[in-house]
Structure 1
Amino acid sequence: MKEINTDIFKVENTIKLADRQTRFDIQEDDKKVENELKKTRKKLGKLQDTLYAHGKYAVLICIQGMDTAGKDSMIREVFKDFNSRGVVVHSFKVPTPLELGHDYLWRHYIALPAKGKFGIFNRTHYENVLVTRVHPEYILGENIPGIHSVNDIDQNFWDDRFEQINNFEDHLAKNGTIIFKFFLHLSKEEQKNRLLRRLEKEEKHWKFSPGDLKERKLWDKYQACYQEAINKTSREHAPWFTIPADNKPLARYIVAKTLLDTLKTYSDIKEPDLDDKIKAHLESYKKQLREE
């Protein structure tokens, strides 16, 4: 299959989402793409074992996207060959009373992966500058000093949050967490098609909510919020990648290849050497076992 340079999806300068592709044509059928994904995720699975043995880095994978963008199936298909002990998935929904009793980053901080492990955030700390921005009344539930009504939530408030998020990720990166942020860039037309499939196929009815249609009416506002969030928080140590998401198999492959291509650049990630004393007695240990 044709080689894909995943750097083209990385956000390194100011972007306009309307100019970024939602469909990427490599002129290959889905079956071939799925075969490449299988090869890539097996390599990722082996790399995960090495990362675990090395024990000095954690990997945080943040996945954002509009409803029906394919977040759940992305996680299922890309990480299928991982050792389940080495990867933890967190899906962040409406904050609980306990979570609202803390600052907005608290629930994300306590879910971070330990060194040697992969952590996947299905929806992320960016919900706090996305859905809350589209629905600023949600901020009032956080009981923030000085915020008494939505009129108190101005551009300075959001700029402060962007700075807080950047500082949060900078702190993580400096302490050994490798950060990936994927925006599954879906077209409005494809979202309509996927919502219709949920309504037309009985086995998919459970995925549909009338609220999906209410949020769809706010499409342009969400796109504007995503665009600003991506532009203000894509950094070399915590880059955003805009992944064309209209074709699910290809989107999954691009994400898997992006992870593999980047992690392979960490030449220091390798299995630790055996202690010299243990290494010097390997033959005697083998002998003991053979003579049992």
Structure 2
Amino acid sequence: MKKLSIIVITVMLAFCHTLSAENLDELVDVSIYSNVKQIQIGSDFYIAIKLNVADEWHIYWKNPGDSGLPTEVKWTLPKGVEKVGSLIWQVPEKIEWSGMVNYGFEHDVYLIQKFKTIRSVELKSIDIKAEVSWLVCKEKCIPQNDNVSIKIAVDEMFEKSAESKLIQNLLATAPSTFKSVKSNFKSGKEKLEVRLLEFPNDVAEVEDLYIISDGITDNTVKTKIENKKNSAIAEFKLSPYLDEMPAELELLVLYKDKNGSSKSYETIINNK
């Protein structure tokens, strides 16, 4: 974690004792859903973790920004069930606090994971457990965690759950993945320049870029974005706490499509 995060969190945690246990339990409510009620072995399915955050409080994205801690999910899976890819996040909000800029979520937050089942493993049911941990902040920050579980029936017939439509809609609005060979970045003493030289076909204008790789940029300085024909260049200020620039960067790109709708995609680019 960044040095600034450690200092800020340590100071804020010193005030946690002022909240009662009852109030702490009410800050974040965790629940778990699947898009299926019953599944055939050999099929894929999704699990969604919902965190309902109390008004005026927030939790953090996978890159929390200038302070905070990422929300994490640790899965306990039965034999014959495996994760497919990484956790699927919604697009975070920029949250300004005490001169810092963080990335996080308020109110309802959904984290989605895709799973596959192995045909060669016989299962009577699928029992999945999730340990969820987060840092919830307002004027103070409190680390919390909870455990949730779900059971999915196994049979020859496939049956959707009551939450299937909700999860389908969340997946439709989640960032897509785009592989770019041409896009790259270069860094100087204080600045980082990101060159997006390839786009998904529906991109009309890049509106913002979030660096998913943690601790790279000073998020208090506004990103400068120059849109060109079929490309965009973004300039960031490097974090004063950055020790070494990585060989590749993971990005979240927010854009308007050709119909004026807001969309996003994630990509990985290499150092030029």
The TM-score normalised by the length of structure 1 is 0.23
**Which has the larger strand fraction?**
2
**Which has the larger helix fraction?**
1
Q: Which has the larger Rg?
A: 1
